[in-house]
Structure 1
Amino acid sequence: MPFTPFHMGPGMVIKALLQGSFSLMVFGWAQIVMDIQPLIVLITGEGHLHGFSHTYVGAILLAIFSALSGKYLSEIGLFILGLNKQWQVQIAWWVAFLSAFIGTFSHVLLDAIMHSDVEPFYPFTLNNPFLGVISVQTLHKWCIYSAFVGGILYFLVMGYLKFYRPKYK
Structure 2
Amino acid sequence: MPFTPLHMGPGIAIKALLQGSFSLMVFGWTQIIMDIQPLIVLITGEGHLHGFSHTYVGATLLALLAALTGKYLSEIGLFVLGLNQEWKVKIAWWVTFLSAFIGAYSHVLLDSIMHSDLEPFYPFDRHNPFLGFISIEALHKLCLYSGAVGGVLYFTVLEILKHKNKRAQR
Identify the TM-score tier after normalising by the shorter chain: over 0.9
- Cα-to-partner distance string for 1:133-156 (whole Å, 9 max, x where unaligned): 000000001111111101000011
Whole-angstrom distance in 2 between the partners of 1:149 and 1:81: 23
What amino acid is the match of 1:150?
Answer: G
Residue 100 of structure 2 aligns with an amino acid whose one-letter code is: A
Equivalent position SS for 1:162: helix
Q: How many residues in Structure 1 have an aligned counterpart in Structure 2?
A: 168
Equivalent in the alignment of 2:139:
139
User: In the aligned structure 2, how far is the partner of 1:14 from the partner of 1:157?
Assistant: 13
**Is 1:152 the counterpart of 2:156 in the alignment?**
no
Q: What percent of counterpart residues are identical?
A: 75
Matches within 5 A, 1:4-83: 4-83=4-83
In the alignment, the residues of structure 2 paired with residue 12 and residue 83 of structure 1 have an alpha-carbon distance, to the nearest angstrom, of 17
How far did 1:167 drift?
4.1
Q: How many Å separate the matches in 2 of 1:163 and 1:12?
A: 22
Q: Return 5+ residue gaps in structure 1 as ranges.
A: none
Cα distance, 1:81 vs. partner? 1.1
What is the DSSP-based 3-state SS (H/G/I as helix, E as strand, rest coil) of the residue aligned with 1:121? coil
Q: CA RMSD in A?
A: 1.2
What SS does the corresponding residue of 1:149 show, helix, strand or coil? helix
Runs of 5+ in structure 2 lacking a partner? none
Q: Quote the offset at 1:161 in angstroms.
A: 2.1
Q: 3-state DSSP class of the match of 1:132?
A: coil
TM-score, normalised to structure 2's length?
0.96
CA distance in 1, matches of 2:168, 2:52: 49
